[in-house]
Amino acid sequence: MTCALDKELPQKAEAIVREAGSIILGRLEQPKDIYHKGRIDLVTNTDLEVEKQLQSQLSIILPQASFLSEESMPTNKLNDLTWVIDPLDGTTNFAHGLFPVAISVALWQKDQIVLGLVYIPKTHEMFTAVKDAGAFLNGRRIKVSPETSLENSLIATGFPYDIDKRIEEIIQPLQGVLPSVRGIRRMGAAAIDLAYTACGRFEGFYELGLKPWDTAAGWLLVLEAGGAVTELNLQNNFNLYSPSIMATNSLIHYSLGQILTKK
What is the reported pLDDT for 161?
Answer: 64
Note the pTM of the prediction, 2 decimals.
0.92
pLDDT digits (tens, 9 = 90+) for 129-158: 999 999 999 999 999 999 999 999 999 999
Is residue 58 situated within a structural domain?
A: yes
- Number of domains the chain contains: 2
Query: Residue 184 sits in which domain range?
Result: 150-260
In a shared domain, residues 53 and 119? yes
Q: Are 88 and 178 contacting, i.e. CB atoms less than 8 angstroms apart?
A: no
Is residue 215 situated within a structural domain?
A: yes
CATH of residue 32's domain is: 3.30.540.10
Q: Are 113 and 122 contacting, i.e. CB atoms less than 8 angstroms apart?
A: no
- Residue 203's Cα: distance from chain center in Å? 15
pLDDT digits (tens, 9 = 90+) for 91-105: 889 888 888 999 999
Q: Which amino acid is at 209?
A: G
In a shared domain, residues 154 and 233? yes
In a shared domain, residues 35 and 72? yes
Is residue 2 situated within a structural domain?
A: no
- What order of strands is seen across the sheet that includes strand 228-230? 183-185, 154-157, 204-208, 244-248, 228-230
Is residue 137 situated within a structural domain?
A: yes
In a shared domain, residues 128 and 154? no
Is residue 207 situated within a structural domain?
A: yes
Is residue 173 situated within a structural domain?
A: yes
Instruction: Report percent pLDDT > 70 for the chain.
Output: 89
